A and B are shown apart, each in its own frame.
Chain A
Amino acid sequence: MAESSSKNRSIKWRVSLLVIFAILAGVGFLFSLIKGSVEIPITEILGAVTGNNSHIHENIFMNIRLPRTIVGALVGINLALSGAILQAIMKNPLADPHIIGISSGAGIAGIMVLVLFPGYEMFITPVAFVGAMLAAVCIYILAWKNGIRPVRIILAGVAVSAFLGAGISGMMIFNSDRIHNALMWMVGGLSARSWPHVAMIWPYAVGAGILAMLSARHINILQLGDDVAKGLGIRVELTRVVLTAIAALLAASAVSVVGLLGFVGLIVPHAARLMIGSDYRFLLPASALLGVALVTICDTIARSAFAPVELPVGILMAALGAPFFLFLLRREL
């Protein structure tokens, strides 16, 4: 955990931080709506929202910008919450659905649907959830030896991730005719994400998000260690399974929509923890808000900085996240 300053984090201070994070999320959201190959003035956005002007940009806004931004925001929430939960239950500062291999589990299951059963896209999220849970179970089994040790979790995650990555590559080679869809999945991007994708992700974001928030007090107690948590009346094993399922569901629904977008679940909860502390009643909402800010801002930069080439946001995220991972690795393990 962070060896942060001895500054006393009062409730007031933490609530004000949450407000700042909410503003940041709002700014990121707006930035993503305005910026792009076509700039949409903010007055037009307001007009489109209130529905009292029809302009040439309205089409772009309603059918491209707005849904894409919403998908980005929800993906940011899901991945950040998933990472925050995994870090607590795996007692591992480096846990992130992508690094740990849970996203790969969701990914391979999702690609199986895309490639082998095209036309059944509506089943991608549930199938990806099963894949994510199976990956999580594998990691636990591989890493479990007289309790959980952080280093073993990472190594088991890397192994599972590599194995599943090979499976994904294999499937793509054998089905090269349908590769384009799957290729987008590998890096993780928001390109061409629209209303159907919003529909795919929002029920899971809302449902699993609420469940995550309701678990905040339990997660706090789990951070005191399994024995103390049991002594305080928590059913530790059951709680860990339920929380793993919530984290897997959050990750799977994000992966179903944008593919293997990494490092959001690593960077965001850490940044949030440094500022707001390890009380999950504050850390979870803080992570969700910063997740919105990070993904919307990064996606906007990725698609506008190198115009007319549009980078998948996953590339930018990996460029940011990998050095961050190494920094944490040196500091925490």
Chain B
Amino acid sequence: MSIDVRNLAVEINNKLILDDVNISIPKNKITSIIGPNGAGKSTLLKAIGRINTSYTGQIVMDGYDIKSISRKIFARKLAILPQGMQAPADVTVRQLVDYGRFPYRSWFKSNKKEDEEIVDWAMKETKVTSLADRQVMSLSGGERQRAWIAMALAQKPEVLLLDEPTTYLDIAHQLEVMDIITRLNKELGLTVMMVLHDLNQAVKYSDYLVVVKDKGVYSTGTPSQVMNETVLKDVFGVKGEVFTNSHGEEILAPVEVVR
């Protein structure tokens, strides 16, 4: 499922957050949005995920303007996990994942057996099956994030959007979450788009990068095309080095703030 963003501009409380954004998000790939705080990363993600619909311009998914698709149909094609998700204290993992089936239900019809199978499958994919009867809010940060990803998976989407899925997690849980996302991309062909804070993670796990700066797109491309000392300086305002580690991965090492 390809997504094209055309002439996107977003204003929030009369303040321009994004202006004239034009990008294409490649199908079946992992795309990361990176950029400094306040550059409009989350705003871009929320527009594509149809959480914020008050924008000008067009977002086109498989040839259709996303605003023309019914909300429930859209939720079957695209799942989005915003930041800082909360659930009532007594909601269990299984219940939460089951909420992911909401777009497939109506007052008149629901398929209990199919829903149950998909919920089981989603929990297995994200390794939360053993936590099924635990309360979501009682889990550790990493477990909780995986439970939310399972809910998104239960939507059976073709596109998964995530807003900083690893923020506030310790490093082992960060890598665990990123590994799950990578595996879902490889095995299911899920198109993933996420906002990432950690540049090294963005380089390591993404096929494609969108660099956002000052309300607009600074550059796009594969990590090796995009990431260099100039981007670090121009976009993030740091002097840094890019080198290759013993695994052949590019590593960004910021040295100091550019004054």
Q: Which residues of A are interface residues toward B (Cβ below 8 A)?
A: 1-4, 6, 8-9, 146, 214, 217, 220-221, 223-225, 227-228, 230-235, 277-279
Contacts and interface: CB of A to CB of B under 8 A. Distances in A.
A245 to B, nearest CB: 18
Interface string B79-90: 111100111111
Nearest to A9: B90
Contacts of B138: 6
B12 to A, nearest CB: 9
Nearest to B13: A146
Given A231-B79, A232-B155, A221 B90 contact: no
Q: Which of A1, A220, A227 has the most B CB atoms < 10 Å from its CB?
A: A227
9 contacts: A1-B90, A2-B89, A8-B92, A221-B99, A221-B102, A231-B152, A232-B75, A232-B99, A278-B88
A133 B89 CA distance: 30
B75 A217 contact: no
Interface of B: 13, 46, 49-51, 71-76, 79-82, 85-92, 95-96, 99-100, 102-103, 105, 107, 133-135, 138, 152, 155
Nearest to A10: B133
A235 B87 CA distance: 19
Contact of B46 (A4, A214, A227): A227
Given A217-B102, A228-B82, A233-B103, A278 B90 contact: yes
A217 B86 contact: no
A228 to B, nearest CB: 6
Contacts of B81: 228, 231
Nearest to B107: A214
A contact face: mostly helix, strand, loop, or mixed? loop
A14 B253 CA distance: 55
Contact of B72 (A214, A225, A233): A233
Contact of B50 (A4, A6, A146, A230): A230
B86 A224 contact: yes
A223 B238 CA distance: 41
Given A224-B87, A278-B88, A278-B91, 11 more contacts: A4-B89, A225-B82, A227-B80, A230-B50, A231-B80, A231-B82, A232-B155, A233-B102, A234-B102, A277-B88, A278-B90
A232 to B, nearest CB: 5
Contacts of B46: 227
A1 B46 CA distance: 27
A9 B92 CA distance: 9
A235 B67 CA distance: 12
Contacts of B152: 231
A37 to B, nearest CB: 44
Given A214-B107, A227-B46, A227-B82, A3 B89 contact: yes
A227 B51 contact: yes
A233 B82 contact: no
Given A231-B49, A233-B71, A1 B88 contact: yes
A331 to B, nearest CB: 12
Contacts of B103: 232-233
Nearest to A274: B90
A214 B106 CA distance: 10
Contacts of A277: 88, 90
Q: Which of A220, A225, A228, A277 has the most B CB atoms < 10 Å from its CB?
A: A228
B51 A231 contact: yes
A158 B81 CA distance: 35
A217 to B, nearest CB: 7
